[in-house]
A = this chain, B = another copy of it.
Amino acid sequence: MKNKIISYLLIIFTLVINPHSVLLSEPLNNIDYKIIPKEIADNAIQLRNRTINNDLSIEIVESLTTEVGPRRMGTEGDKRAISWAMQKFEHLGFDRYWTEPVSLDRGWIRGDASAEIISPYPHKIVISALGYSVGTNGDLVGEIVEFKNMAELEAIPVGDSLKGKIAFISYSMSDSNPSNSRMNRYREGTKARGRGHVTAAQRGAEAIIIRSVGTDNNRYSHTGSGYGYKDDIKKIPAAAISPPDAILIQNMLTRKVPVLMKINLTSEIVGPKESANIIGEITGREHPDEYLVLGAHIDSWDEGTGALDDGAGVGSMMAAAAFIGQMKDRPRRSIRVLLFSGEEIGFYGVNAYLERHQHEMNKHILGAEVDSGGGRVHTLVPGVGPDSLHIIKEMYKLIAPLGVGLSDKNDAKGASDMSVLGKAGMPALNFTQNSNDYFKYHHTPNDTFDKIIPADMRYLTSAYATMFYLASEIPINYRK
């Protein structure tokens, strides 16, 4: 009764100080207190309701994108990001925080990129070098030859039939068969992004351009990583052009006139670089050596400020752990935020992490990662042992008022970086998110702070904070 009065007073107080506060009704009678003790359930509800009215995760993204900006692995921005993260962990009251070195075998300087149609008439084209492309060594001029997709390019025999030409893969992630899932269409697009430069070089091409892999029709290029060059195959420049420019070139080509393009990239592959994962810990009160790990990647592409990819992950995960750290007691087990280096260029950070922590993977009780932007959470997907599943379902009831559904699958491995640990045996939780905007902005200059939708970020953060608080307090083995 006393608790109930305090709850009502808290509600009234909250509404007085912020009349826009969200207050969620509770299906409390549903909770099986034999599985989730009442005090823990009450704490979880308080945590959940506090966090959906708190802008901390958004403030962290604002801070990262304003004070650090772009932070591709191995750049000055990366160094700024490491200092920033250490200070932020300190400021947010984490008990411990440290870096763990990650080596990068080769660096890359983006340099400048420009392109221009020079015939049928001069017109600037929006272009970005793909990650780790070589430069053009001055102006490169060639006639454009279009291929609808990688298969069409591969169908040309190896040889020199594309000598003097620029191969152009016009595959559109947005226009292709919509019955194919978005992720499948993304993967089809990344074939050309990943290895088109090798395939085109084997056919004699001087360079390759691809239609950006994205769902928008904005005049930006989406950069991204290639899978590298092969020693015995000519290294040709690789770049993405914006969707409207791709459409323009396709429409020019239907006129049966040669379309000549000039490309100038000053990109350069350079020597090794050092970077680091940054780890912050809210130390567990009973089992400090058992870790619940919340992951995101600290690196970003370098033309925007990486707000959605993956500032949203950094903000939501740092804030979720910080909120748990603000509770009366430390959680039973440690909550660790893992900010991985070098996700964008090939999981450098998480691979180094796995190597270093392989011996204690069994201490990694449960993990999750946010790397799909800051959109509203819609479905909880567990990836735990069969015995644990009914406990996760009981926990789920406490976040259901956020408007979240529960998947009937139990196969989550942790998204992005965290999937590497998931595949190494770590149980995982994931929330699918509304990511309709994600492939419009990701890897473009347009991935900036204004794309964060505050209400969505609050719900995202709240969902992870609440579930991981509960997972820390219910002392089971989620592998079983």
Contacts of A243 in B (CB 8 A): 450
Task: Check B449 against A244 for contact (C-beta < 8 Å).
Answer: yes
Task: Check A126 against B445 for contact (C-beta < 8 Å).
Answer: yes
Given A65-B248, A244-B450, does the pair A219, B304 have CB atoms closer than 8 Å? yes
CB of A83, distance to nearest CB on chain B (Å):
11
Contacts of A303 in B (CB 8 A): 124
Closest to A253 in B: B66
Binds B, one of A69-77, A309-317, A390-398: A69-77
A50 interface contact, C-beta 8 A: no
Query: What's the Cα separation between A450 and B449 when bound, in Å?
Result: 26
Partner of A248, one of B124, B305, B444, B451: B305
CB of A403, distance to nearest CB on chain B (Å):
26
A137 interface contact, C-beta 8 A: no
A80 interface contact, C-beta 8 A: yes
Name, among A62, A121, A444, the residue most crowded by chain B CB atoms within 10 Å (CB to CB).
Answer: A121
Task: Check A66 against B251 for contact (C-beta < 8 Å).
Answer: yes
Task: Check A255 against B219 for contact (C-beta < 8 Å).
Answer: no
Closest to A440 in B: B218
A123 interface contact, C-beta 8 A: yes
Contacts of A70 in B (CB 8 A): 123
Given A126-B445, A219-B304, A445-B126, does the pair A76, B247 have CB atoms closer than 8 Å? no
Contacts of A251 in B (CB 8 A): 62, 66, 449
Total copies of the chain: 2
Query: What's the Cα separation between A77 and B124 when bound, in Å?
Result: 13
Closest to A123 in B: B69
Query: What's the Cα separation between A404 and B217 when bound, in Å?
Result: 29
A220 interface contact, C-beta 8 A: yes
Query: What's the Cα separation between A450 and B247 when bound, in Å?
Result: 8
CB of A171, distance to nearest CB on chain B (Å):
16
Contacts of A449 in B (CB 8 A): 244, 247-248, 251
Task: Check B80 against A121 for contact (C-beta < 8 Å).
Answer: yes
A67 interface contact, C-beta 8 A: yes
Query: What's the Cα separation between A76 and B68 when bound, in Å?
Result: 43
Task: Check B219 against A69 for contact (C-beta < 8 Å).
Answer: no
Q: Mark A39-77, 1 if CB is under 8 A from B, else 0.
A: 000000000000000000000001001111110000011
CB of A53, distance to nearest CB on chain B (Å):
23
A433 interface contact, C-beta 8 A: no
Closest to A446 in B: B219
Partner of A244, one of B121, B217, B446: B446
Contacts of A218 in B (CB 8 A): 218, 446
Contacts of A244 in B (CB 8 A): 446, 448-450
Q: Mark A393-410, 1 if CB is under 8 A from B, else 0.
A: 000000000000000000
CB of A135, distance to nearest CB on chain B (Å):
18
Partner of A121, one of B77, B122, B217, B219: B77
Task: Check A445 against B69 for contact (C-beta < 8 Å).
Answer: no
Which A residues contact B (CB, under 8 angstroms)?
Answer: 62, 65-70, 76-77, 80, 120-124, 126, 217-220, 243-244, 247-248, 251-252, 255, 303-305, 444-446, 448-451
Given A67-B255, A123-B305, A219-B304, 13 further pairs, Cβ under 8 A: A62-B251, A66-B248, A67-B120, A68-B121, A76-B122, A126-B445, A219-B220, A219-B446, A244-B449, A244-B450, A247-B450, A248-B305, A248-B448
Of the A-B pairs whose beta carbons lie under 8 Å apart in the complex, a sample of 7, sorted by A's number, is A67-B255, A217-B450, A218-B218, A247-B448, A247-B449, A248-B305, A251-B449
